[in-house]
A and B are shown apart, each in its own frame.
Chain A
Amino acid sequence: MEPTSLEQLEEEEAKDSFDVDVAVTNPEKIGDGMNAYVAYKVSTRTSLPMFRSKTFSVRRRFSDFLGLYEKLSVKQSLHGCVIPPPPEKSVVGMTKVKVGMDDPSSVEFVERRRAALERYLQRVVSHPSLLQDPDVREFLERDDLPRAVNTQALSGAGFLKMINKASDAVNKMTIKMNESDTWFEDKFQEVENEEQQLRKLHAVVDSLVNHRKELCGNTAVFAKSMAMLGNSEDNTALSRALSQLAEVEDKMEQLHQEQAASDFFIFAELLADYIRLLGAVRGCFDQRMRAWQRWQEAQSTLQKKREAEAKLLWANKPDKLQQAKEEIAEVTNTWEARVTQYERDFDRIGMTVRKEVLRFEKEKAKDFKSQIIKYLEAMLQSQQRLIKFWEAFLPEAKAIA
């Protein structure tokens, strides 16, 4: 089977467009103590006829999202697809929430998770093959979803560990693949490099978030100190100006807080998502390798069976010959069929991977662009507010006499 040309793949890509919008909102703590959990409202808005109505919503908990991923990732039909990975489990984060949802770090944790779950679902429904999957539809529509078990595998760094373990297995393969075209090799290298770069960037953005938070603290403390100084000042106009300065610094602290949130939720989380997504892309390449391996192993088994057949025919036991011939024919036929099947699988996965990678790259460019624009726009607004604060302060400073 000839692989379709790259242009044809791209054309197919462009035709896929959807009309599904999902949102994850209203986190609500259910229950008390260590068995408590958070339930989210998952709302869908769609014009596609395959859904039960145009708008509907259900309540889901975190493990339901993990369960969905589990179901999707084991499906043969989806092999070669980039299946978006869900957000990571966090024992520490959840324990705090179980104790109480009111303190700022818990609030931040829940918000972070809610946003991550929403992005996860949006990626799932914007994938043409995944959207067609009955498990996805069930997740979005069904009121009473059976609880997912076996979601332990995806704790913390578990997801990436899983991917890396598979990679190692592939690397240890004794039969090295002879690529007819270098596209796969080159792409894989690209993906690995990009993951490296993003990790590095993520570390720096993390540092930025922390420094910004430090700045908040230091600014607040400084504002208080300025207010005290203003109180001590005996020149009336200067005293007023210093108090005003203290107020401006308070407003600056507010700006810094918002900027830190922007740094984190827009920038850092974007990078974290894509580090995981690139891991998923690597996973697809591994799946293709394993399909190839299966095909090669089937071929070598077929070869062995044929050699056994030849040996038997040579041995020349005429009375047993006919029966032996029939048995062997059955086995070789089975294996011939397998070889053909596995070769088809391998080709199919190859095509899927190519298509998926193209799609992924397009989505990634779009995502990065829109997020960076969002980040810059947030910064812009912050600067404009900053101007207003200082412009209001200036006459106060000029009024000092």
Chain B
Amino acid sequence: MRSVSVDLNNDASLLIDIPDALCERDKVKFTVHTKTTLSSFQKPEFSVPRQHEDFIWLHDTLVETEDYAGLIIPPAPPKPDFESPREKMHKLGEGEATMTKEEYTKMKQELEAEYLAVFKKTVQVHEIFLQRLSSHPILSKDRNFQIFLEYDQDLSVRRKNAKEMFGGFFKNMVKSADEVLISGVKEVDDFFEQEKTFLLDYYSKIKDSTAKAEKMTRSHKNIADDYIHISATLNSISADDSTKVEGRVASDQELKLTELLRYYMRDIQAAKDLLYRRARALADYENSNKALDKARLKSKDIPQAEEHQQQCLQKFDKLSESGKKELTGFKGRRVVAFRKNLIEMAELEIKHAKNNVTLLQGCIDLLKSN
């Protein structure tokens, strides 16, 4: 069951999934599997090994493609982060002498489950990224996307193109300055004015919620660990079972609510990026207008200025048109995803609580009958 639901157009002409992944120390190797009926691909079905950095390369090249300026580029998957379970595993190893064999085994099991959860999460996030691309009418046709899916050699040669990397870095730097630009530019379109206000506000709120959700689930985890220690020390059946129960709720909540928020936080950032690009285009258009006026005044270089102004206007119009479509679609997708996720989360809470009730009732009955 996928933890983060995104409304995906599962068009059978291009189906992508990550059926397998290997974890070697720090590196995760994903097996990207494609099944397609499109003639643009050489084979109908094939798999390639990819690393996280390859996904980043793909994302960055899409972001820097001028033609896609009017699109919301799906957010790049975050780097696989095994830091937390690894640190805990280390601490566990150090403390092995101080606990009973049973306690140690249980803690180890919990950690292994946590490790697995992080692993599953990262596979899903990388998979969703690709599936977002494959279900987008324009992005799915991108040449680099095709290379990513098909090219059976190591992509690192392409990746290590320093100019590309530097270009991306530079863009990120400028972007933060342009957040000011977005708010500063005089908006000509009501739709975008509203979107801008909404997205800026929503972003800060969702970022806050994500952080708070993370803290909450971490507390749940701590409590689950405590129950493991308790059940190991206590000679009683009852405490034993509640361990698994509390722990399970923590890991499921982790996957559901926090991931949903985290995902949409990044998605909204992507939407904001679209707004920024459009704001840049608007600024460029306004500048081109000023330049044209100046040229007319000086009666110099008028045709170039006119052409430049036309280009800017076209770019801006194109961005606005596609931007409007993208943002509307984005809204719809977001609402659907939240709905699905909130329902699943509520159902899960109920299911686990009912399990707990059965478990606890059983223990109480057992104790009372003795």
- Whether the Cβ atoms of B367 and A373 lie closer than 8 Å is yes
- Whether the Cβ atoms of B335 and A222 lie closer than 8 Å is no
Q: Give complex CA distance A261, B294 in Å.
A: 75
Which residues 307-352 in B have Cβ within 8 Å of A in the complex? 331, 335, 338-339, 342-343, 345-347, 349-350
- Whether the Cβ atoms of A228 and B353 lie closer than 8 Å is no
Q: Give complex CA distance A198, B173 in Å.
A: 57
**Is A18 an interface residue when CB atoms closer than 8 A count as contact?**
no
Of B219, B350, B354, B370, which one neighbours A218 at CB under 8 angstroms? Answer: B219
**Is B172 an interface residue when CB atoms closer than 8 A count as contact?**
no
**Is A233 an interface residue when CB atoms closer than 8 A count as contact?**
yes
Q: Give complex CA distance A218, B233 in Å.
A: 28
Which of A87-95, A206-214, A279-287 lies at the interface?
A206-214
Q: In the complex, what residues of A have CB within 8 A of residue B367's CB?
A: 369, 372-373, 376
- Whether the Cβ atoms of B205 and A204 lie closer than 8 Å is no
Q: In the complex, what residues of B have CB within 8 A of residue A234's CB?
A: 198, 331
Which residues 182-240 in B have Cβ within 8 Å of A in the complex? 198, 201-202, 205-206, 208-209, 212-213, 215-216, 218-220, 222-223, 226-227, 229-230, 233-234, 236, 238
- Whether the Cβ atoms of A400 and B335 lie closer than 8 Å is yes
- Whether the Cβ atoms of B338 and A229 lie closer than 8 Å is no
A382 vs chain B, min Cβ distance (A)? 9
- Whether the Cβ atoms of B230 and A204 lie closer than 8 Å is yes
The B interface is mostly helix, strand or loop, or mixed, namely helix
Of B198, B346, B353, B364, which one neighbours A393 at CB under 8 angstroms? Answer: B346
- Nearest CB in chain A to that of B224: its residue: A211
Of B198, B342, B350, which one neighbours A391 at CB under 8 angstroms? Answer: B350
Q: Give complex CA distance A398, B343 in Å.
A: 6
Q: Give complex CA distance A208, B361 in Å.
A: 22
Q: Give complex CA distance A204, B239 in Å.
A: 13
**Is B368 an interface residue when CB atoms closer than 8 A count as contact?**
yes
A392 vs chain B, min Cβ distance (A)? 9
A226 vs chain B, min Cβ distance (A)? 6
Q: In the complex, what residues of A have CB within 8 A of residue B350's CB?
A: 387, 390-391, 394
Of B219, B233, B361, which one neighbours A201 at CB under 8 angstroms? Answer: B233
Of A226, A235, A379, which one neighbours B331 at CB under 8 angstroms? Answer: A235
**Given contacts A372-B238, A386-B349, A391-B350, are A221 and B226 in contact (CB under 8 A)?**
no
**Is A215 an interface residue when CB atoms closer than 8 A count as contact?**
yes
- Whether the Cβ atoms of B360 and A380 lie closer than 8 Å is yes
**Is A53 an interface residue when CB atoms closer than 8 A count as contact?**
no
- Nearest CB in chain B to that of A369: its residue: B367
**Is A339 an interface residue when CB atoms closer than 8 A count as contact?**
no
**Is B48 an interface residue when CB atoms closer than 8 A count as contact?**
no
- Whether the Cβ atoms of A383 and B364 lie closer than 8 Å is no
Of A237, A376, A390, which one neighbours B346 at CB under 8 angstroms? Answer: A390
**Is B242 an interface residue when CB atoms closer than 8 A count as contact?**
yes
Q: In the complex, what residues of B have CB within 8 A of residue A205's CB?
A: 226, 230
B365 vs chain A, min Cβ distance (A)? 10
Q: In the complex, what residues of B have CB within 8 A of residue A226's CB?
A: 209
**Given contacts A233-B202, A386-B353, are A204 and B223 in contact (CB under 8 A)?**
no
- Nearest CB in chain B to that of A389: its residue: B349
- Nearest CB in chain A to that of B233: its residue: A201
> Per-position contact with A for B149-173: 1 when CB-CB < 8 Å, else 0?
0000000000000000000000000
Q: Give complex CA distance A229, B201 in Å.
A: 9
- Whether the Cβ atoms of B227 and A208 lie closer than 8 Å is yes
- Nearest CB in chain B to that of A204: its residue: B229
Q: Give complex CA distance A343, B267 in Å.
A: 86
- Nearest CB in chain B to that of A246: its residue: B209
Q: Give complex CA distance A64, B53 in Å.
A: 73
- Whether the Cβ atoms of A232 and B349 lie closer than 8 Å is no
Q: Give complex CA distance A295, B230 in Å.
A: 45
- Whether the Cβ atoms of B342 and A222 lie closer than 8 Å is no
**Is A377 an interface residue when CB atoms closer than 8 A count as contact?**
yes
- Whether the Cβ atoms of B215 and A232 lie closer than 8 Å is no
- Whether the Cβ atoms of B331 and A384 lie closer than 8 Å is no
- Whether the Cβ atoms of A379 and B360 lie closer than 8 Å is yes
Of A211, A237, A245, which one neighbours B223 at CB under 8 angstroms? Answer: A211
**Is A110 an interface residue when CB atoms closer than 8 A count as contact?**
no
> Per-position contact with B for A343-384: 1 when CB-CB < 8 Å, else 0?
000000000000000000000000001001100110110011
Q: Give complex CA distance A347, B357 in Å.
A: 52
Q: In the complex, what residues of B have CB within 8 A of residue A222's CB?
A: 209, 212-213, 215-216
A259 vs chain B, min Cβ distance (A)? 9
- Nearest CB in chain A to that of B336: its residue: A400
**Given contacts A225-B209, A229-B205, A373-B368, are A397 and B342 in contact (CB under 8 A)?**
yes
**Given contacts A226-B209, A377-B364, are A208 and B223 in contact (CB under 8 A)?**
yes
Q: In the complex, what residues of B have CB within 8 A of residue A377's CB?
A: 360, 364
- Most A CB contacts (10 A, CB to CB) among B223, B227, B229, B230 go to B223
5 sample A-B contacts, Cβ–Cβ < 8 Å, listed by A number: A204-B230, A222-B215, A229-B208, A232-B198, A372-B236
The 3 closest A-B pairs by CB, nearest first: A215-B219, A400-B339, A397-B342
Given contacts A232-B205, A372-B238, 16 further A-B contacts (CB under 8 A): A205-B226, A218-B218, A222-B209, A222-B216, A225-B208, A225-B209, A228-B209, A234-B331, A235-B335, A238-B338, A242-B338, A390-B353, A397-B342, A398-B343, A400-B338, A401-B335
